[in-house]
Structure 1
Amino acid sequence: MQARAPIPILRMFDEAAARAFYVDFLGFRLDWEHRFEPDLPLYMQVTLGDCVLHLSGHHGDATPGGHVRVPCTGLREFQQALLAKGYRHARPGIEVQPWGLDMTVSDPFGNRLTFTQALE
């Protein structure tokens, strides 16, 4: 057995808000969506670079308020691109930490993503 990178599952409650935040604002690609039946909750996968996330509307899949750290490069440029979009629910800032740079954004459901760039 060889373990691979985990795929976090984050809880969502509003499909349109999830797409607006993850796809339109952060720039994730929507890979696929799944429903067991038309009137049941959505489960979907989004990807940004090597970061893969699952977003679930299913009760019990995840607890709102999760926190995922996403290692990255080019954080300052990413931040500037996000600010240029004028997303009305977030104006992310960068914090200098002993290990590098962190930029935390919260999704509409209380989950946090911290994009972190290590010191060179």
Structure 2
Amino acid sequence: MASVKPILRIFDYDKAQEFYLHWLGFRIDWEHRPAGSPAYLQVSRGDITLHLSEHHGDSCPGARVFIDDFVALSAFHEVLLGKHYQYNKPSLSTPGYDPTALEMTVTDPFGNRLTFVERR
């Protein structure tokens, strides 16, 4: 089966690391960052894989990634709030499209949104 790896536009490598690695708990799988060139890297957390790019034209800021079937979303939410990341205080909600689901959206420093959904 093929896999999908969204490319999200970033503008600041250090801010991306703070958000994706230190706050959300992703890890860098690999990166391509020759001297004097924009960064391009793959990050993952469990079975979630994203590409982050500083390259102009790879994508536009403001994308939204829907992460379905996330396990233990309430616990993950509590971990995030406990880290006291000053730029994001996500909440949990029941989406209108599914009263059995739990949803949390976080926005990265570049306007990209990640929506985590757990089916209860």
Same fold (TM over 0.5): yes
Aligned length: 116
Q: 1:60 and 1:5 mapped to 2: Cα distance?
A: 22
Coordinate RMSD, CA, aligned: 0.9
Task: State the AA in 1 paired with 2:47.
Answer: D
Task: State the AA in 2 paired with 1:109.
Answer: F
Deviation per residue, 1:4-57 (Å, 9 max, x gap): 12000000000000000000000001111102x310100001001100000000
Residue number in structure 1 paired with 2:115: 114
Structure 2 residue corresponding to 1:93, chosen from 85, 91, 107? 91
Structure 1 consecutive aligned stretches of length 4 or more whose deviation exceeds 2 Å:
none
Report the alpha carbon displacement of residue 118 of structure 1 after superposing the two structures with TM. 1.3
Residue number in structure 2 paired with 1:68: 65
Q: 1:57 and 1:67 mapped to 2: Cα distance?
A: 17
SS of equivalent residue, structure 1 residue 95: coil
Structure 2 residue corresponding to 1:13, chosen from 2, 6, 11? 11
SS of equivalent residue, structure 1 residue 19: helix
Residue number in structure 2 paired with 1:44: 41
SS of equivalent residue, structure 1 residue 30: strand
SS of equivalent residue, structure 1 residue 22: helix
